[in-house]
Structure 1
Amino acid sequence: MKKFISGFVVGALLFGGVSAFAASSLIGQKVQGLFTIEKGGTKVAEAVIINGSAYAPVRAVAEATGASLTVEGKKIIMSSENEKVPTAASNTKTLAELQAERNKIAEQVEKKTAIVSEFKKTQVDNWDVLISENPNSTTIPQWENTKKESEKMLEQLKTELATLQQQLNDLDAQIAALKH
């Protein structure tokens, strides 16, 4: 059903571009029927039938199929949820610029990986050793609090590393798309 609705939307978009030029020929035409568009038993929109062609609100049908719409000038651009709509800014970068940006982020990933590893060894792990080697120390509660703060900082560093890695993956995808 989803493929049918998606196909219907794409067909409507393609035909819509042609019908815009032929709009004057639709004036005065008889509506032959009114169809309900449903998804999973829920009404999404209504389509009118004129001269054997269905006309439905593109946004309502696209949203029902999980697609998003953007309008650029006189173009309506549909994309699925997991597909990003290319913007004018993203299209202006050359392959060389994307590769240079990728190299910078790859360096940052490498540095951040080393920082995370070193921080874990010198901060978190050291507090574990200190606490385990001095079980009778009166400062263990303070050491444990400091260890917890160090663990929070480590998690923040790991989050930053994951963000950089995601940026690297996104750039790899953009580069692959440009190469094809």
Structure 2
Amino acid sequence: MKKYVAGFLAGAVFVLSATAFADDIKSLVGKKIQGEAVVELNGQAVDTAIIVDGKSYAPVRVIGEAAGYDVSMQNKKIILDEKSSATVTAPGKGQSVEEQATKLNERISDHEDRILRLETRIVGLEDELLKPNYVDRGEKDIIAQYKLDLAKEKSLLADLKSQLASLK
């Protein structure tokens, strides 16, 4: 009988401690994105961050690499290490014109890909709206958000292309 009571108490302690730990973990799943902000490094656009509940969430890899760090992930930890070489990867800081142009071309290509994906999604959702048995599941709001994102991506792309042109 004592074994059952001890087992019950041990189980209760385990369950209650797991519940208390779970309260500390916060998830962004289901939260609404309140906005986006352009992230700049030394006056140059690097990427965009999203804003959820008044906090901004930026892509660590892009920003870390732009700031001159090696970025890796190990055991669910993001690790930023200083690069062994003295060069910083922010455009215009210790790089040759060719290196800067290569970086800008990579970023331009990324933004062109994002624009293509957004345009494809918009067309697909607009096709859904035209179907005779269409039932509104929020597609119109999603299309509106995609169009805002598309405009921002096009603006960032234009900025990157002007930076590239200024190098030549």
Q: TM-score, normalised by structure 2?
A: 0.41
Greater percentage in helix:
1
Where relative contact order (Cα < 8 A, 6+ residues apart) is larger, the structure is 1
Q: TM-score, normalised by structure 1?
A: 0.38
- From the CA coordinates, give the structure whose radius of gyration is larger: 1
